[in-house]
């Protein structure tokens, strides 16, 4: 397994990974999440151009999982972590998170943050095993609050969401 910045030509593959990973939400009664379209190529290109769209690849250098990150209130915010279901349970997501943490440490970011579903087994409980903890409302930064408002406007608040943090 290797981790590297996604190539521009691989951005449609990231969309495919997101669609495949999203289908798992249908199995737990979240069909609107399963049917949600992945980020646009233009948005993904912004992360890629900033050097914050990483992929894990197979032996043939084909992406199996990806992570995109942005800076929110001085922390590295994990905007999306997706693993193709065919490659699940191999440590790819954790490897990407650890890679993002190393990037953040090198850039002197104090923490990683993310927003996820509180009760989906491969979301908040998984991130807790990766060293994240849930933030109370009083601990939310202005940027995280803004992201939560955007999510609510998209209807993601139909299911409990949580902001999480991992200090570096």
| Contact between residue 63 and residue 8 where contact means Cβ atoms under 8 Å apart | no
The whole-chain average pLDDT of the chain stands at: 96
pLDDT band for 157, please (50, 70, 90 cuts). confident
**pLDDT computed for residue 83 by the predictor:** 97
User: Hey, what are 164's tokens?
Assistant: 């999480």
User: Which of the 8 DSSP states describes residue 27?
Assistant: G
Spell out the residues 6+ positions from residue 83 whose beta carbon is closer than 8 angstroms to its own. 17, 21, 64, 65, 92, 93
What local confidence, expressed as pLDDT, does residue 155 receive? 86
Would you say residue 151 has pLDDT above 90?
yes
Nearest residue to 8 via CA among 53, 65, 38 = 53
Q: What are 37-66's pLDDT values in tens digits?
A: 999 999 999 999 999 999 999 999 999 999
Over residues 110-120, mean pLDDT? 97
Residue 160: pLDDT over 90: yes
pLDDT at 156 over 90: no
pTM metric for this prediction:
0.95
pLDDT in tens, 63-105: 999 999 999 999 999 999 999 999 999 999 999 999 999 999 9
Residue 126 CB-density burial (10 A; 0-12 exposed, 13-18 middle, 19+ buried): middle
pLDDT > 70 fraction of the chain, expressed in percent and rounded: 100
Predicted local confidence at residue 1, as pLDDT: 78
Residues 83/89/93/95 CA torsion (nearest 10 deg)? -140
φ, ψ at 8 (rounded to 5°): -55, -40
Q: Could you confirm whether domain 2-167 is CATH 3.40.630.30?
A: yes
**pLDDT for 112:** 98
């Amino acid at each position: 397994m290797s981790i590297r910045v996604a190539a521009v030509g691989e951005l449609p593959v990231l969309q495919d990974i997101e669609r495949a990973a999203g289908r798992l939400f249908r199995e737990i009664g979240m069909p609107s999440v399963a049917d949600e379209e992945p980020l646009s190529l233009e948005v993904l290109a912004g992360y890629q151009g900033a050097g914050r769209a990483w992929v894990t690849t197979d032996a043939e250098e084909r992406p199996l999982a990806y992570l995109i990150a942005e800076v929110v209130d001085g922390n590295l915010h994990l905007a999306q972590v997706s693993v193709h279901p065919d490659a699940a349970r191999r440590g790819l997501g954790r490897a990407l998170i650890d890679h993002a943490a190393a990037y953040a440490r090198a850039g002197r970011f104090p923490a990683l943050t993310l927003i996820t579903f509180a009760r989906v087994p491969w979301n908040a409980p998984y991130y807790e095993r990766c060293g994240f903890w849930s933030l109370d409302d009083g601990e939310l930064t202005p940027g995280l609050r803004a992201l939560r408002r955007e999510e609510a406007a998209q209807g993601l608040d139909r299911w409990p969401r949580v902001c999480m943090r991992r200090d570096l």
